[in-house]
Amino acid sequence: GAGVSQSPSNKVTEKGKDVELRCDPISGHTALYWYRQSLGQGLEFLIYFQGNSAPDKSGLPSDRFSAERTGGSVSTLTIQRTQQEDSAVYLCASSSRDRGLNEQFFGPGTRLTVL
């Protein structure tokens, strides 16, 4: 079956521009995560959606970052007024369980380069 998909796969933008990154989770998965992966760094948690509950935004690094999830499915991560330090791979993951170990299935990521 289809896995987690993300678009675009690559995005090059100029400093100060806004960008939108999209994530299509696995159908039926209630949980959705956004992570950022920089060179030599681990995955940095950004935000977590679970069903209709209020999202856990505790990982968002600044108010320039926001995310929404429409209809409990597709999610969009928006970065406003991008900075060069925002350059990274942005990974989305989804999972179907909310107890015990919830295996997260990752998408291929969006590689963002801010010039």
Partner 1 sequence: QKEVEQDPGPLSVPEGAIVSLNCTYSNSAFQYFMWYRQYSRKGPELLMYTYSSGNKEDGRFTAQVDKSSKYISLFIRDSQPSDSATYLCAMSAPDYGQNFVFGPGTRLSVLP
| Segment holding 22, helix H or strand E | strand 19-24
- Short-list 73, 75, 80, CA closest to 114: 80
Number of residues that bind partner 1 (CB under 8 A): 26
42: contact with partner 1 by CB under 8 A: yes
**Which helix (H) or strand (E) covers residue 89, if one does?**
strand 88-95
Is 68 or 103 the residue whose CB approaches partner 1 more closely?
Answer: 103
Pairwise CA distance, residues 56 & 51, whole Å: 12
Instruction: For residue 25, state whether it binds partner 1 (rule: CB under 8 A).
Output: no
The yes or no reply on residue 95 touching partner 1 (CB under 8 A) is: yes
Q: Could you say whether residue 109 binds partner 1 (CB under 8 A)? A: yes
Question: 106 and 29 in contact (C-beta within 8 Å)?
Answer: no
Q: Which of 26, 67, 88, 93 contacts partner 1 by CB under 8 A?
A: 93
Exactly one of 19, 25, 104, 112 binds partner 1 (CB under 8 A); that residue is 104
Helix (H, G, I), strand (E, B), or coil: what is residue 84?
A: helix
Q: Which positions lie near partner 1, rule CB under 8 A?
A: 4, 31, 33, 35, 40-43, 45, 48, 50, 56, 59, 91, 93, 95, 98, 101-109
